[in-house]
Each structure stands twice: as C-alpha cells, then as structure tokens.
Amino acid sequence: MTSIPSAGDPVGASLRAAVFASGGGSNLQCLLDVERSAPDETPWRIVLVVSDRESAGALGRAAEAGVTTRVIPVSRRDPTEVADETVDVLTDAAVDVVFLAGYLRLVPAPVVARWRRRILNVHPALLPSFGGKGMWGRHVHEAVLASGARVTGPTVHFVDEEYDEGTILAQWPVPVKAGDTPDLLAKRVLEAEHRLYPAAAAHLCRALLAGRTPSPLDAPGPHFGASALPLDPAMP
C-alpha cells in the first residue's frame, strides 16, 4: 500500500483497486463503467479481479475490460493457504483498496487485517436487517418480502471478519411496493446499488488519498426528510 499519494497530490490521483466477485459481476461492471466514462474524476483504477469460481461471469467482464483476473478457489482448501495466496496476489498487484461485488466467501482474516477499512462490500438490504450467512441475492429479497418491511435498499459497509457486520459507510432507502416479487424488488434495489456503490467507493478513495478517515455518507436529499411528509393523515 505504498502507492497512496499524500494529501498534496494533484487532482486525478487514484488508488489501485481489486474487485472480488463470485457471480455475474453487475456491480463490477458498474464500477468499470464509472471508471471508463470519467477516468479523471474517478479516484480508483481496477487493476485486478479475483473470483473463487472459474465460471464467474465477472471474469469475462474483467477480461473484456482488459483487467487482470485471478481465480483463487476456496472450497475444500486449507483456509491458511487461501489467506496466504490472497495476501500475495493483492500485494503483488500493489492493491490499495478492495471492492467486493457479489463475493460469497468470507474475506480471510489476514486480508481484512492488512487492508482494514480499505475493503468495501455492498449488500442489497438495509443492514443490520437481512444480513449474515446465507443472506445473499434472492434470499435477501425473499426475506424482506416475508417480513412485510416497506423500506429496503442497499448498504455499503466496510468488511470485517464476519458476514455483513462491518461499519456502515452508506445506505439508500428503496421502497417495497404492493405486488412486489423478489425479482421486481431485486431489480429496484440493484438500480440503487449501481448508483450508491461507485459513490461510496469514490468517497472512500478520496478520503484515503487525503489521509482522512472517511465519514459515513448521509443518505441524500432534502426530498427525504420529514419536511417531505404529506400533511394529510389519510396519506399515502
């Protein structure tokens, strides 16, 4: 992590990022798209994509974008070996920050320790609700619908040694609507994820580049507080 410029560095400085993904990688694509469309304003460069699965669609997206890929299998392996390999791979690529994008494994503790508060994950519900082991993808939205919750939305949080338990950096409320199915809800939340995750990632990188601890992001908007509540008690 010697590549982090000091606070005096010129505008346009960026950190070297790895993305970890187990699946299709739509959040990887979103981060790549943001970087490609506005490189001067994007304070990261994705230099590596890591997956635990050779078949992960994310690897194809990475290859297409010209980003180095690496498969680090996890199943039926000695955890220490996985941890050592992961630390080595990230160190060799001089990675400053890690963005999880649908990565379904725990990040090995030595990686968390070495990149502490430099690893982000996005989760498709408002943690601490609907998080933890087994709570991923469709399972999350099914649980939200089963609970009757009327508000959900993505959470971006720092990664620690447990699933979905690190400090929250950003959240975005998304309504659950009458007639929602898990698929409809997943689509609505994913739209918000694809805006929130790059914003939170940029916020973290800018703070690190400036030598600051990143403050949590406020959920946005004057449209959002009590002032927007309708006065009519018959609402909505």
Active site residues: 123
Question: CA 198, CA 178: separation in Å to the nearest integer?
Answer: 29
Question: CA 165, CA 16: separation in Å to the nearest integer?
Answer: 25
Residue 167 Cβ, how far from a copy of itself at the closest point, in Å?
A: 5
Question: CA 105, CA 112: separation in Å to the nearest integer?
Answer: 13
Give yes or no for a contact between 159 and 120, defined as CB atoms under 8 angstroms apart.
Answer: yes
Residue 149 Cβ, how far from a copy of itself at the closest point, in Å?
A: 6
Q: Does an H or E element contain 54, and which?
A: none
Residue 114 token pair? 């070495």
Site string for a copy of itself, 206-225 (x = CB under 8 A): ---------xxxxxxx-xxx
Residue type, 58: A
Interface region with a copy of itself, contact rule CB under 8 A, candidates 52-60, 71-79, 81-89, 124-132:
124-132
Question: CA 154, CA 131: separation in Å to the nearest integer?
Answer: 11
Size of the site for a copy of itself (CB under 8 A): 56
11 contacts a copy of itself (rule: CB under 8 A)? no
Give yes or no for a contact between 15 and 214, defined as CB atoms under 8 angstroms apart.
Answer: no
Residue 196 Cβ, how far from a copy of itself at the closest point, in Å?
A: 8
15 contacts a copy of itself (rule: CB under 8 A)? no
Q: Does an H or E element contain 195, and which?
A: helix 182-209
229 contacts a copy of itself (rule: CB under 8 A)? yes
Site string for a copy of itself, 155-194 (x = CB under 8 A): --x---------xxxxxxxxxxxx---------x--xx--
- Contact residues toward a copy of itself (CB under 8 A) are 34, 38, 41-42, 126-130, 147-151, 153, 157, 167-178, 188, 191-192, 195-196, 198-199, 202, 215-221, 223-226, 228-236
